[in-house]
Amino acid sequence: MTQAELLALADQVFIKNYRQQPIVLERGQGCEVWDKAGTRYLDMTAGIAVCGLGHGHPRFTARVIEQLGRLVHVSNLYWNEQQILAAKAIVDRSFADRVFFCNSGAEANEGALKLARRYQAVVANAPERTTIVSTHGSFHGRSFATVSITGQPKYREGFGPMVGPVEFIAYGDLEAAHS
């Protein structure tokens, strides 16, 4: 299909919750990507920060192919060697003693919110401390809780009462964050 045909089809079959650019990316190499029409672009978002090695990196591609030949995906209901080794590498290189792997940024943010509430309720013995502080203009995900703490009203409008309480402050306002 041509790029124009694919764009027309996308217009028919997708809910319009993103504002994609009117191009259909077909391939990439390093930080360069090409659309179906052959136009070259620089991927300045690294696939929203998940393509730190760029596109088509030969060693990464070979490793992914090797892993796909052995095991594609395993639920968190089971252990797998690569997950254990990745967790160990993170613990060895960070402040953390343990890790929790998530499926998305929204799930990671929800985990952080739950951890903060649990800390207040159990460790700090202050279960009344439930207010979440977020910043104006922020975006934290598309789940219900993460939309609730997103500092852009356009993402919250029309979804009824939000998870809260949430206090929005200006980004970088340390005095407001402290109070």
Domain span including residue 55: 3-70
Q: In which region does residue 84 sit, left (phi positive, over 0), alpha (psi from -120 to 50) or beta (all else)? A: alpha
Q: Mean pLDDT score of the chain, rounded to an integer?
A: 92
Question: What is the per-residue pLDDT for 50?
Answer: 79
pLDDT digit string, tens, across residues 46-95 = 877 778 889 999 999 999 999 999 999 888 889 999 999 999 999 999 99
Question: What is the per-residue pLDDT for 52?
Answer: 82
Residues 37, 87, single domain; the answer is no
Are 28 and 56 a contacting pair, CB within 8 Å?
A: yes
Give yes or no for residue 21 having a pLDDT over 80: yes
- CATH number (domain holding residue 18): 3.90.1150.10
Mean pLDDT of all residues in 137-159: 93
In the structure, what pLDDT confidence band is assigned to residue 96 with cuts at 50, 70 and 90? very high
From the number of C-beta atoms within 10 Å of its C-beta (0-12, 13-18, 19+), residue 146 rates as buried
Which phi and psi angles does 61 have, rounded to 5°? -60, -45
Residues 92, 110, single domain; the answer is no
Number of domains in the chain: 3
Give the helix ranges, DSSP H, for the chain: 3-13, 46-49, 58-70, 81-93, 105-118, 144-148, 153-156, 174-178
* CA gyration radius, the chain: 21
